[in-house]
Structure 1
Amino acid sequence: MKNNLELTWEELKIPYPTKGFNFVTTDEIKADESIVDQENALATLEFGLQLGAKGYNMYVSGNDQKTIFDYMLGRLQEKANQRNVPPDMCYIYNFESPSTPKVIWLHPGDGMRFKNDMKEFRQFLINELSDRLDSIEAEKKRHKLIDELDDKKEEILLELKQYAKTTGFQVKLTEDGIGFIPLDLEGEPLSMESYDKLENSEKHVIEDSLEKLSEFSENVLNEVKDVEKLYEQYMDDVDENIILNEVGYYIKHLKEQYGRYNKVNQYLDDIMNDILEDIKIFSSSGNGENQEIKSIFPGIGNSGITDKVNHYNVNVLINNEQLEGAPIVTSRDLNHGRLIGRMHIDTEVSSSHADFNQITAGMLHQANGGYLLLYVKDLLDYPGAFDLIRRTLKTGEVSLESIGGTNSINTIGLTPEAIPVNFKVILVGDYEIYHLLTEMDLSFKELFKINIDFKETITSDELSIMNMASQIRALCDKEELPPVTYEGVLQLVEYSHRLAESQDKMSANLQPMMDLVREASVFAQGEITKENVVKARQMKMLFKDTLQKNIEEKYAKNIFLVDVAGKKVGQINGLAVYEVGDFAFGRPVRITATTYRGKSGVVDIEGAVGLSGSIHSKGVQIITGFLGNHFAQNYPLSLCGKICFEQSYGGVDGDSASSAELYAILSSLSEVPLKQGIAVTGSINQYGQIQPVGGINDKIEGFYRVCKQKGLTGKQGVMIPDQNKSDLVLDEEVIKAVEQGKFHIYAITSFKEGIEVLTGVSATQVEERVALKLKKYSIDNVEKVSRLKMKKNSKLK
């Protein structure tokens, strides 16, 4: 005869909606990656996206982080398209402080245009300016100056010749300089032979005249040098005027293009001043000697100019020319350089040279004016990454630290100007990390004022199931997988219920179902069917089955002692869940209890030896509280009870076995045996009410497998809290066994219902027997105390 506490097999089946599904395969429905039954989270998300004030960054938590991340990415793209494109970000040379490059902001696209225009300007200075210096007009001016110089020099030399003639000398120009030859009376050059025949007095006259002539010629030569210097300056002026005209015209043209930017205007003025300060480096490139060398070796001859004009480059860090709306930046690689950019170093033999042109942007630059979307676990995987983002959010600036050579003494470092940035950070993670961050970092909640928490489970209704089917269609389209049949979708829905441990709810985490679709596609032939999904689930469980079979063998060989038939006093089968990696499986654990008179109450043996967790120890204390409240209102509770998890050598925690422990204590006190074919799970409170527990499906299936291995008798089953009925999503084999009466599941609300199922005796009878035993313990204890007092008093007399 069926117990009214026993669940029917129909109550174990998931009540799927029967209306609204008219597709054969997912090919017949529309792909949709939206999120359903998360109204609160989505409303908070929209609210957070509207807030642009400082500190309103968002932390989004949930189990299905990939789906949340993908949804956030899609939503941000919609939002970003409605916003303005941020300006281009550039570094330029700082003429006042070369080690601190300046930042300039230009309209989207102007950054690269300005860079290219400045590149043309530099090429003009290096290659074309020399052509202007060698133009026909410039050559004419130079030749005219050369002719004028020659005439001036000729006039000065003529004066010298005339003076020399008056003093009796002839001027002779040689490669070594100017020479003087004395003349005879007829005005002819005096030979050495003739000079030697002269009187000494005549020779002294010639020598005195030569000395005066030498002094005069020295003055003449100085005058020639002065004239040459003057005309050299005239020649330089020709080059400078050409350079000023040509460069000035180019600078004027650039100002016409970019004059609306004040910093660019100032930068162009700085370039002009820089050229004027070192104009000779440009004019010297046009002389004939350099041109001749350049004609033979075009790659050399302008290194000085090249080094100088390198300062006139524009380093475009961020080019937003192709961007439509605000940027959205995301990456799984969050190392230091990826976040804030890098400064490349040119290493030479004895020094390292840092050039502002070698600075590259990081994600924090790229996200300016938009959004930075990251997985929080990725952020925490890279040391210092979270601190970089936190510092940037606090200061509103990105600072690129100077990097020098590691082995060199001479290091030319750069400290680029800090760049102001403004972006919204969205972190996707789980709630545990959010709680940890708020506990460890007092500023975290100030920086991430918006916390969005997606529910772990969603309502199992027509909308949610169709949403899952639409998500499956999207996956199949994206990864070119076969479509899934309607029955296959329902099998996936059942798997979702199992993950949620609920008949009414589905798991909000879609990724395990998506993985199952991928795995089932291996067995599919044209379509992914229910059978393919079932087979994929079986493959997924092979590792778990191996572990379970190893344990079952130990039960079969009585290595693990457990009875699944008969009755025993003070002995019961509790249920435990063991986790190995991603797998969880249940197994029965023999719990024994012994009771005798004493004062210690119920003692947990595991706790006494340090193998019990705090929650389990609390459950044992609750049992003592229940016994005192229920049985010791009229006399003191005099009891010593010992509870033990047999063959348990690891830690025990949780209170899900507290009801089973109570039944073992009551059985020991009443001496009423318990059915060993019924395993028990559920916690109890001090008033004897049964409370729900977790892992209910694994526990039931674990005991069923042991019973099946030892032999099903038709009297075996599991007793669970009534509140756990809606959590039952059992394996089909277990449901079939219940339908055939080979296995039973009882749902109870109080210890009285439980004791009746386990003993077949009314709860009143068991309570009376327990009360008598506890009363006897108490009376015996009172009598013992009285005898001791009397004995003590007699000794005193």
Structure 2
Amino acid sequence: MTKLEAGSLYRQCDPDSLSFGTTGEIDESTTVIGQERLSASLEFGYGMGKDGFNIFALGPNKINKEDHLKEFFEEKAAEQPAPPDICYVNNFDDHYKPDVLELPAGRGSELHKQMEQLVDDLVPTLTSAFETEEYQNRRQSLQDQVQQEQGQTFEDLKNKAKEKGLALVRTPAGFSFAPLNEEGEIMGKEEIQNLSEEKREELEEKTRELQEELQKVIQKMPSNRRKARERLKELDEEIATYAIKDLFNEIRDNFSELEDVQDFLDDVEIDIVENVQSIMGNQNQSGQGGNQLIQMMGGQQPQQQKGGRNPVLDRYRVNVMVDNSEMEGAPVIYEDNPNYKNLIGRVEYQSKMGTLSTNFNLIKPGALHRANGGYLILDARQILLEPFAWEGLKRALKSGELKIESLGESYSMVSTVSLEPEPIQLDVKVILTGERLLYYLLCEHDPEFSKLFKVEADFEDEIDRTDENNNRYAQLIAGLIAKHELRAFDNKAVARVIEQGSRMVGDNEKLSAQTNDITDLLKESNHWAGRKERDVVTKEDVEKAIEQKIYRSSRLRDKVQESITRESIFIDTSGEAIGQINGLSVARVGNLMFGRPNRITARVQLGKGEIIDIEREVDMSGSIHSKGVLILKGFLGERYAGERPLSLSASLVFEQSYSHIDGDSASSAELYALLSAIGDIPLKQSFSVTGSVNQHGKIQPIGGVNEKIEGFFDICDQRGLTGRQGVLIPRANEKNLMLRGDVVEAVKEGDFHIHSIETVDEGMEVLTGMEMGTPKEDGTYPGDTINYMITEKLDQLAEKRKAFAKSENSQE
């Protein structure tokens, strides 16, 4: 047993050991330290190619994993070439299957601009060409030729009819033939009736012959119209081919080394020539309808969109999905909202006349498009929460292709025509971030996960606290200060932050690597320095930030302590009692973890060696707590039941506990209470106890030792320190002590005591003021020792049980 001195309760950081006056003097700063294992894993994952060597970076949420990963991969990406631009263009063979066009970085936006200019210049260029005198003359010639041919045909038929005494006349019902009289005028009804029967039959025969000829002429009219349209189309294509040549020459020259672009321009040029009449639409040609000949021959002009924009022109545009023109190196993308559309991409729709329509210009990229050729960082939990996103990501990684699919179409949620864009070859390194438990669950329950994410990169929660690491920690603090543009910290303030880094992990030999908590402390300290109008943050500001953060979160803790001081919850801090002891537990509420004492009592009566855990009997304890209670029976049996049976029945309970209890940190306290109850030995109520115990009576370390000590100290301090109060802790927890200043000061003044123990025997001696006692050669214990009093009581119980058993047998 060791009575700890004040100097061992808090490990200070000497400001003079830091090689600077303020953080502004630190030349080399960083935002992460102590992550050698992580760095090695990331280097390996970076160096490995495809085949599933993606990375899962696991660690607690309080570590700013995303920022560190971005910093690491941005440094690596800067050494790599920028990936190509990704564009979608019209597939002139199948408009519903747009083609992919990959261009060197920056060339995609260049092609987009030049094609936009071409589209803007196309109609004016064509209009100018169609307004030339040459075109107008040739068009008029075609029109005259068609009209002449058609007019001559009817004139010939008219003359032939006249020779046969008939006239070709136009009626509302169409063309017909009427007989002529000798004066060459059309006969009236009476004249026709006055004709002889033979003459009428002759005229009817001639009319039938001419009607047949007229029918043939009329039947040839659609063919003539088609030929006329073809002639006009050939003329338009000839003029258009010549007119647009200059528009394409500059683009072709600028992209002469890119064969895919040349092929695309060929397709565009051919389509413009073939669809020149649709492109022109109702543009004004020669001051009148430019397609008068089409109208004359029964054709229809194409309609334009509202606002005068011709939808035909959209097919010649370039949809730049990913523009890497400003990219220096490979992309590093962090997607904070990884739903399916944001990850895989989507096809948008336009509403026209109550229907939905789309085209390749409405294809939008996802994070995988933007990260292609580089690195994509995603939060694993967020992507798992988004419907279809996780499966979509795995499908893309397995296939090595990025295929944009409409979920509505796939799951029959909508009935509309959609696009099937050509898949894009995927070359991306995906880095998922998440907690360790999530990583282990995915390994266990998703058979594809381990095949796709083969690299485990584990963030350290803490680092060793050495003089060298103290200075490196100062560099971390300086880096975080610079990143968040805070005031400089003096060396005393940095030393206090380092000390708090040990308190965060509950270990005076370690420092916290959880940068989120450190950053919050720096920001809050900077705030309090600003309130004091200081240019440099001091130790006082750091202390204020720590105190205020605890104060903001401590309402529930204060209520619990108030209940104890007002004796609504029974806790003794003075006097002695048999079978009663103060245990210590820890509670976490939000961001605050605090300790509180709990009264544990034990009662013993005649029985058969049972130890009843009342919490377990009513299902208010967890399996770990129940295990701790069963260990007590093993200890008692090994020490006291070698020569006699345990003829007792004991019960253990946490008094005034109304919630679930788990953990074994109170098992030593339960054993002390049980030994006290068996031997009728009073225990000092001025002490509180924590620590688990094994079957050999060794005291084992527990968690939250600082909070537990401070929780009991606060109760004693509120009631008045007597100099006899204290706490028993496992010796193995000495390295975890980073206690508050008021606790350290009380120990220094002798008003409060902390004992570290290794065995149950040492604890019982402190709690009773008696010796435990070692067995003599005959196996008995010296009088006035704890073991003697316990064995005497066990012997008495054994005799009573034996006598009771004889009494029952005699009665039978």
Q: Name the TM-score, length of structure 2 as normaliser.
A: 0.85
The alpha-carbon distance between structure 1 residues 722 and 339, as it changes in their structure 2 partners (threshold 3 A), is same
Q: Report the secondary structure of 1:55's partner residue.
A: coil
- Alpha-carbon deviation of 1:75? 1.1
Once the two structures are superposed, what CA deviation does each residue of 1:574-602 show, in whole Å capped at 9, x if it has no partner? 11112211111112111111112211422
Give the structure 2 partner of residue 434 of structure 1: 439
Q: Report the secondary structure of 1:99's partner residue.
A: coil
Give the structure 2 partner of residue 306 of structure 1: 310
Q: Report the secondary structure of 1:411's partner residue.
A: coil
Give the distance between the partners of 2:451 and 2:763, measured in 1 at CA: 52
Give the distance between the partners of 2:161 and 2:650, measured in 1 at CA: 142
Instruction: Answer whether contact 2:278 2:302 (CA < 8 A) is retained.
Output: no
Once the two structures are superposed, what CA deviation does each residue of 1:536-591 show, in whole Å capped at 9, x if it has no partner? 21111114443333233322222221221122221111111122111111121111
Instruction: Answer whether contact 1:376 1:427 (CA < 8 A) is retained.
Output: yes
Give the structure 1 partner of residue 298 of structure 2: none
The alpha-carbon distance between structure 1 residues 6 and 165, as it changes in their structure 2 partners (threshold 3 A), is closer
Q: Report the secondary structure of 2:433's partner residue.
A: strand
My pick for the range that moved more, 381-390 or 556-565, is 381-390
Give the structure 1 partner of residue 564 of structure 2: 555
- 1:226-241 equivalence runs, <5 A: 234-241=231-238
- 1:764-783 equivalence runs, <5 A: 764=773, 765-783=785-803
Once the two structures are superposed, what CA deviation does each residue of 1:273-299 show, in whole Å capped at 9, x if it has no partner? 656765654588676532499xxxxx9
1:680 is aligned to 2:684: no
Which residue of 557, 561, 578 corresponds with 1:569? 578
Instruction: Answer whether contact 1:126 1:305 (CA < 8 A) is retained.
Output: no
Give the distance between the partners of 2:711 and 2:3, measured in 1 at CA: 19
Give the distance between the partners of 1:385 and 1:171, measured in 2 at CA: 76
Once the two structures are superposed, what CA deviation does each residue of 1:42-70 show, in whole Å capped at 9, x if it has no partner? 21221111112221111112236553321
The alpha-carbon distance between structure 1 residues 210 and 615, as it changes in their structure 2 partners (threshold 3 A), is closer
Give the structure 2 partner of residue 503 of structure 1: 508
1:43 is aligned to 2:76: no
Give the structure 2 partner of residue 795 of structure 1: none
Give the structure 1 partner of residue 635 of structure 2: 626
Give the structure 2 partner of residue 731 of structure 1: 740
Give the distance between the partners of 1:523 and 1:369, measured in 2 at CA: 46
Instruction: Answer whether contact 1:59 1:452 (CA < 8 A) is retained.
Output: yes
Give the structure 2 partner of residue 290 of structure 1: 289
- Alpha-carbon deviation of 1:655? 0.8
| Count of equivalent residues | 776
Once the two structures are superposed, what CA deviation does each residue of 1:446-489 show, in whole Å capped at 9, x if it has no partner? 22111122221111123332233333333333443221111111
Which residue of 397, 401, 411 corresponds with 1:397? 401
1:333 is aligned to 2:337: yes
1:598 is aligned to 2:607: yes
Q: Report the secondary structure of 2:349's partner residue.
A: strand
Give the structure 2 partner of residue 758 of structure 1: 767
Instruction: Answer whether contact 2:15 2:492 (CA < 8 A) is retained.
Output: no
Instruction: Answer whether contact 2:6 2:745 (CA < 8 A) is retained.
Output: yes
Instruction: Answer whether contact 1:403 1:414 (CA < 8 A) is retained.
Output: no
Return the letter of the residue paired with 2:65.
I
- Alpha-carbon deviation of 1:267? 4.8
- Alpha-carbon deviation of 1:181? 12
Once the two structures are superposed, what CA deviation does each residue of 1:655-684 show, in whole Å capped at 9, x if it has no partner? 111111111111122222111111111111
My pick for the range that moved more, 318-327 or 692-701, is 318-327
1:666 is aligned to 2:668: no
- Alpha-carbon deviation of 1:206? 14
Return the letter of the residue paired with 2:403.
S
Which residue of 503, 512, 521 corresponds with 1:516? 521
Give the distance between the partners of 1:722 and 1:273, measured in 2 at CA: 88
Q: Report the secondary structure of 1:719's partner residue.
A: strand
1:80 is aligned to 2:66: no
Give the structure 2 partner of residue 713 of structure 1: 722
1:26 is aligned to 2:30: no
- 1:439-518 equivalence runs, <5 A: 439-518=444-523
My pick for the range that moved more, 356-365 or 593-602, is 593-602
- Alpha-carbon deviation of 1:122? 3.7
Instruction: Answer whether contact 1:354 1:404 (CA < 8 A) is retained.
Output: no
My pick for the range that moved more, 476-485 or 719-728, is 476-485
- Alpha-carbon deviation of 1:408? 12
- 1:316-465 equivalence runs, <5 A: 316-402=320-406, 411-465=416-470
The alpha-carbon distance between structure 1 residues 684 and 369, as it changes in their structure 2 partners (threshold 3 A), is same
Give the structure 1 partner of residue 620 of structure 2: 611
- 1:685-700 equivalence runs, <5 A: 685-700=694-709
Give the structure 1 partner of residue 13 of structure 2: 16
The alpha-carbon distance between structure 1 residues 490 and 149, as it changes in their structure 2 partners (threshold 3 A), is closer
My pick for the range that moved more, 249-258 or 569-578, is 249-258
Q: Report the secondary structure of 2:558's partner residue.
A: helix
The alpha-carbon distance between structure 1 residues 773 and 399, as it changes in their structure 2 partners (threshold 3 A), is same
Instruction: Answer whether contact 1:681 1:721 (CA < 8 A) is retained.
Output: yes
Give the distance between the partners of 2:685 and 2:158, measured in 1 at CA: 142
- Alpha-carbon deviation of 1:339? 1.8
Return the letter of the residue paired with 1:547.
L
Instruction: Answer whether contact 1:588 1:702 (CA < 8 A) is retained.
Output: yes
Instruction: Answer whether contact 1:351 1:410 (CA < 8 A) is retained.
Output: no
My pick for the range that moved more, 55-64 or 156-165, is 156-165
Q: Name the TM-score, length of structure 1 as normaliser.
A: 0.86
Once the two structures are superposed, what CA deviation does each residue of 1:134-182 show, in whole Å capped at 9, x if it has no partner? 3222233345556767887898899899989999999999999999999
Return the letter of the residue paired with 2:797.
Y
Give the structure 1 partner of residue 779 of structure 2: none
Once the two structures are superposed, what CA deviation does each residue of 1:406-463 show, in whole Å capped at 9, x if it has no partner? 9999733333333332211112222122122223322222221111222211111233
Q: Report the secondary structure of 2:743's partner residue.
A: helix
Q: Report the secondary structure of 1:763's partner residue.
A: coil
- 1:125-274 equivalence runs, <5 A: 125-144=122-141, 234-246=231-243, 267=264, 270-271=267-268, 274=271
Instruction: Answer whether contact 1:343 1:403 (CA < 8 A) is retained.
Output: no
The alpha-carbon distance between structure 1 residues 115 and 219, as it changes in their structure 2 partners (threshold 3 A), is same
What 5-or-longer segments of structure 1 have no aligned partner? 294-298, 793-797
My pick for the range that moved more, 431-440 or 570-579, is 431-440
Return the letter of the residue paired with 1:481.
L
The alpha-carbon distance between structure 1 residues 332 and 172, as it changes in their structure 2 partners (threshold 3 A), is closer
- Alpha-carbon deviation of 1:8? 0.8
Once the two structures are superposed, what CA deviation does each residue of 1:602-621 show, in whole Å capped at 9, x if it has no partner? 22111122212111111110
- Root-mean-square deviation (Å): 4.1
Q: Report the secondary structure of 1:620's partner residue.
A: helix
The alpha-carbon distance between structure 1 residues 234 and 721, as it changes in their structure 2 partners (threshold 3 A), is closer
Identity of aligned residues (%): 34
- Alpha-carbon deviation of 1:690? 0.6
Instruction: Answer whether contact 2:699 2:730 (CA < 8 A) is retained.
Output: yes
Return the letter of the residue paired with 1:45.
L
Give the distance between the partners of 2:606 and 2:180, measured in 1 at CA: 152
Return the letter of the residue paired with 2:614.
I
What 5-or-longer segments of structure 2 have no aligned partner? 293-300, 774-784
Give the distance between the partners of 1:791 and 1:156, measured in 2 at CA: 144
